[in-house]
């Protein structure tokens, strides 16, 4: 059994060696047609790295020829399938800018935006590429409202929007966790304005109340009245918007305590 396994291992190594030797020979060829045909063959066999190497070599030669369109398009897909998404996005963009009248231009525009989407990182990292992907996908829908890629494009926009919401809320919440309540209030209010339909909106409203209350507690006496008033105003807005909120009971306690402190302040001012 061990001898049989060794035999097949040797056979595999020999096949790989022959395959590499064949590819190197094609790579060194001076005939672009040889590279073109081999590139298509490698592409069809899903050997995308080898296909992309050959396509990159002949692109300057075939640009302007009938084969140039296919080479540019397949090169973009080679990089996409190899998960080189930013490179792929640039190749797809080059395609539709160069071959704007091509029957594949619509797909290239979609894949440009989709490649940017695939390149976007997890929620906790910088989301610049997510913003670019969403903008590109919206532009695609504006240009091709009845595209066969319409449903996928909408799904990308919705998914990206949720990712940006999560990132925005997490950034705001980080200030709250660090007890930087003044910064938390600013960040949470910005979040509310930027994402008025977010699933995190209710919690953001509640955290503004808590942050305003904690900030009032930490403030010098001359600032406390203004900030406890802020708690009261934010609470009224919150209860009008979310009368059944699970955060309501805790918010009520902060509201009641703020009213009590405001009444004491008024009494002290009257007595003085």
75-86 tens-digit pLDDT: 999 999 999 999
Give the torsion sign (CA, 196, 200, 202, 206): negative
8-17, 59-68, 69-78, 145-154: range with lowest mean pLDDT: 8-17
- Tens-place pLDDT, residues 243-257: 999 999 999 999 999
> For residues 84 and 266, what is the distance between their CA atoms, to the nearest angstrom?
65
- Reported pTM: 0.77
Domain residue ranges in the chain: 25-82, 178-272
CB 69 within 8 A of CB 99: yes
Pick one of 3.40.50.720, 1.25.40.10, 2.40.50.100, 1.10.10.10 as the CATH number of 178-272: 1.25.40.10
Return the half-sphere exposure (C-beta side, CA atoms, 13 A cut-off) of residue 82: 20
Q: Stretch 149-154: mean pLDDT, rounded?
A: 97
Q: Model confidence at 126, in pLDDT bands (50, 70, 90)?
A: low
pLDDT over 90 at 269, yes or no: no
Query: What is the greatest pairwise CA distance in the chain?
Result: 102
Confidence of residue 268 (pLDDT cuts 50, 70, 90): low
pLDDT score for 129: 80
Ramachandran class of 84: left when φ > 0, alpha when ψ lies in -120 to 50, beta otherwise:
beta
pLDDT, residue 216, reads: 93
pLDDT at 217: 92
Question: How would residue 12 be classed by pLDDT, with cut points 50, 70 and 90?
Answer: very low
Residue range 176-203: average pLDDT?
A: 95
Q: Would you say residue 148 has pLDDT above 80?
A: yes
User: Looking at residues 204-217, what average pLDDT do you find?
Assistant: 96
Percent of the chain exceeding pLDDT 70 equals 89
């Amino acid at each position: 059994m061990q001898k049989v396994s060794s035999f097949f291992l040797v056979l595999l190594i020999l096949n790989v060696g022959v395959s590499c030797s064949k590819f190197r020979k094609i790579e060194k060829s001076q005939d672009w047609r040889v590279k073109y045909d081999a590139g298509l063959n490698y592409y069809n066999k899903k050997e995308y790295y080898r296909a992309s190497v050959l396509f990159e070599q002949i692109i300057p030669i075939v640009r302007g020829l009938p084969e140039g369109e296919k080479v540019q398009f397949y090169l973009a897909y080679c990089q996409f399938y190899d998960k080189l998404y930013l490179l792929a996005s640039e190749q797809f963009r080059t395609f539709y800018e160069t071959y704007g009248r091509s029957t594949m231009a619509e797909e290239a525009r979609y894949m440009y935006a989709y490649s940017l989407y695939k390149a976007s990182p997890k929620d906790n990292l910088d989301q610049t590429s997510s913003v670019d992907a969403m903008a590109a996908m919206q532009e695609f829908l504006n240009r091709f409202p009845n595209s066969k890629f319409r449903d996928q494009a909408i799904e990308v926009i919705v998914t990206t929007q949720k990712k940006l919401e999560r990132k925005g809320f997490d950034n705001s919440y980080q200030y709250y966790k660090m007890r930087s309540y003044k910064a938390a209030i600013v960040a949470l209010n910005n979040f509310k304005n930027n994402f008025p339909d977010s699933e995190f909106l209710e919690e953001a409203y509640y955290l503004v109340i808590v942050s305003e209350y904690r900030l009032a507690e930490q403030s010098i006496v001359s600032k406390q009245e203004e900030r406890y008033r802020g708690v009261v105003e934010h609470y009224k807005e919150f209860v009008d918007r979310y009368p059944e909120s699970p955060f309501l009971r805790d918010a009520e306690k902060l509201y009641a305590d703020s009213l009590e402190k405001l009444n004491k302040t008024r009494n002290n001012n009257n007595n003085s």
